[in-house]
Structures are given as C-alpha cells and as structure tokens.
C-alpha cells in the first residue's frame, strides 16, 4: 500500500476544510513497544497528541471533531492498560476546564454506564457545563461501538412506537440519526486513521456513510499538525458527489 505524501503544501481556504473530522487514535501500543515501554506509555503519549490536535483544529476553526478513545471491545485488554486509559480520561476531564474560555462544547459518545460512578459524574458534569458553547464541539467516543449505537437508537425508537408516540412508517433516516449519540451533529466529512490499519473498526459507522477516508502509516503518538495539514490538503482535492454525478 502506497501512502500519501507526508509533505504539506498550502492549507486550503476555510470553506474547503471539513466541518467534522473523525480521528481513530491508533498505534499507541506499537509506539510504546518500539521503545521497549509498556503499552500504557503509548496511551499517555497519545493523549498528548490528542490535546495538540484539538488545539490545532480549534485554531483552524474546525467546528466538530471526534476521537475514538475506547471501544466497547477494548474492555478485553489487560486490566492495567484499561485502568491507565480510565486514568487518562479522569485527568483530562480535570484539566479540560481550561478549554471553557475557548467556547468548546464537550460530548462523550457511547454508553457511560460501564464507567465508575465518579467518572460518569465527571463526564455528565462536563457535558452540562459546556452544553451552551458553539464554537467547537469536541467528542470523545468512550465505551463506544457503532453497532451498539445503532441498536441503542433502535431500542429508543421501539419504545416510542410501544408508547404510541411514533408510527413505524415515520421511522426515517432522520429519526434514526436523531436517536444516535451524535444527535444534532453533522456527519463525518473526513475520517483519519493513522498507524497503517485500513479499517473503520466499528467507529461512527452510520455517520461515515459519505466520509472521505485518509490513512497514514504514522503512529498516533507521532501524528502532528503537519500530518493533519497533509490530510486537509488531500481532502480539499477530493470530488465529493454523495451519490450524485
Ligand atoms: C488504540 O491504539 C488506542 C486506544 C485503544 C486508546 C486511545 C486512548 C488514548 C489516546 C487516551 C485518550 C485520552 C483522552 C484524554 C481522550 P492501540 O493501543 O490499539 O495501538 P496498537 O494497535 O499499536 O496496539
């Protein structure tokens, strides 16, 4: 597989930038392994990249960014690694109060009920405290799975049918979208996956129906502003037809 050039040129004008960028933060474990370190060190480094990329997107004026941080399947990993990721979430929520004056709305995508009570409370509080900001929406997918999300939406719609408030014939793409964790948020325009893996891994499978994909073999902890510039330049050159001609 030949990957795209890693030399950024001129950034496209704002109107040619994506409205919603999704990131699959992959390659942390391999980054650590290459250095003879435990995997959790890779996640710690990955969290630094996450913060750097959030700030850069904010400066570029990107309105919606989402990050795949922990999947519904990631609970199968060793306890030490899972605990390290939970700690990074917890620390980040404590630190992120600094974003408030940058008018960033925070949303956690996924089923929060599996997290500790204390982490759940912090997640809900951060969402509530930032709900009125509209400059940028930052989504962190945690205990998230695309199929799980669609099943969750189907159950919500079925409950409405059972309660007599919805007719089955009125179930549309819009009503399904409105019952996803991303309700009200535009679909992904550009999906970026580093680390050389060429798959979606159950990330925002509904919302990426017409997304443009950008793959690079750089590992997530090494992903930086220049890599993102390359992806944005490439995105601007795509001819998006959404099924038309
Ligand atoms: C995938 O790489 C990465 C994860 C499962 C965890 C990502 C989590 C973070 C970067 C921490 C995020 C923190 C905040 C505050 C959002 P991998 O471990 O599967 O890498 P590998 O394929 O090289 O093993």
Nearest CA to ligand 1 atom 22: 27
Ligand 1 nearest atom to the CA of residue 28, by list position: 20
Q: What is the pLDDT of residues 149-183, one digit of tens each?
A: 999 999 999 999 999 999 999 999 999 999 999 99
Q: Where does the pLDDT of residue 1 fall: very low under 50, low under 70, confident under 90, or very high at 90 and above?
A: very low
Q: What is the pLDDT of residues 198-211, one digit of tens each?
A: 999 999 999 999 99
pLDDT at 6 over 60: no
Ligand 1 nearest atom to the CA of residue 49, by list position: 10
Per-residue pLDDT, 28: 98
- Whether 88 lines ligand 1, by a CB cut-off of 6 Å, is yes
Q: 91 by DSSP, 3-state: which?
A: helix
Active site residues: 26, 74
Q: What is the pLDDT of residues 77-119, one digit of tens each?
A: 999 999 999 999 999 999 987 666 678 999 999 999 999 999 9
Following CA atoms 57, 230, 224, 78 in sequence, which dihedral angle do they give, to the nearest 10 degrees?
100
Between the CA of 164 and the centroid of ligand 1 the distance, in Å, is: 43
Q: Is 52 exposed, middle or buried (0-12, 13-18, 19+ CB in 10 A)?
A: middle
The answer for residues whose C-beta is within 8 angstroms of residue 108's C-beta and 6 or more apart is: 123, 126, 127, 139, 140, 141, 142
Choose one of 38, 69, 222 to mutate for the ligand 1 pocket test, by most ligand atoms within 8 angstroms of C-beta: 69
Q: Which two tokens stand for residue 215?
A: 């793959």
Report in angstroms the alpha-carbon separations of 153 from 37, 129, 147, 206, 232: 40, 25, 10, 11, 32
Choose one of 33, 34, 41, 46 to mutate for the ligand 1 pocket test, by most ligand atoms within 8 angstroms of C-beta: 46
């Amino acid at each position: 597989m030949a990957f795209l050039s890693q030399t950024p040129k001129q950034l496209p004008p704002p109107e040619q930038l994506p409205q919603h960028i999704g990131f699959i933060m992959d390659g942390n474990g391999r980054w650590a392994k290459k250095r003879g370190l435990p995997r959790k060190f890779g996640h710690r480094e990955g969290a630094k990249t996450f913060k750097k990329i959030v700030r850069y997107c904010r400066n570029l004026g990107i309105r919606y960014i989402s990050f795949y941080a922990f999947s519904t399947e990631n609970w199968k990993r060793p306890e030490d690694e899972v605990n390290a990721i939970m700690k990074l979430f917890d620390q980040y929520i404590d630190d992120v109060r600094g974003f408030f004056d940058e008018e960033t709305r925070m949303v956690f995508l996924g089923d929060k009920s599996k997290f500790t009570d204390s982490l759940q409370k912090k997640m809900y509080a951060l969402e509530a405290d930032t709900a009125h900001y509209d400059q940028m929406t930052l989504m962190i997918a945690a205990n998230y799975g695309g199929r799980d999300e669609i099943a969750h939406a189907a159950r919500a719609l079925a409950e409405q049918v059972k309660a007599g408030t919805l007719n089955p014939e009125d179930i549309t793409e819009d009503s399904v979208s409105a019952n996803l964790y991303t309700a009200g948020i535009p679909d992904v325009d550009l999906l970026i996956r580093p680390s050389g893996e060429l798959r979606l891994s159950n990330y925002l499978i509904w919302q990426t129906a017409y997304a443009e994909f950008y793959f690079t073999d750089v590992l997530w902890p090494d992903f930086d502003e220049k890599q993102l510039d390359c992806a944005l330049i490439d995105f601007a050159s795509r001819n998006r037809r959404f099924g038309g001609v």
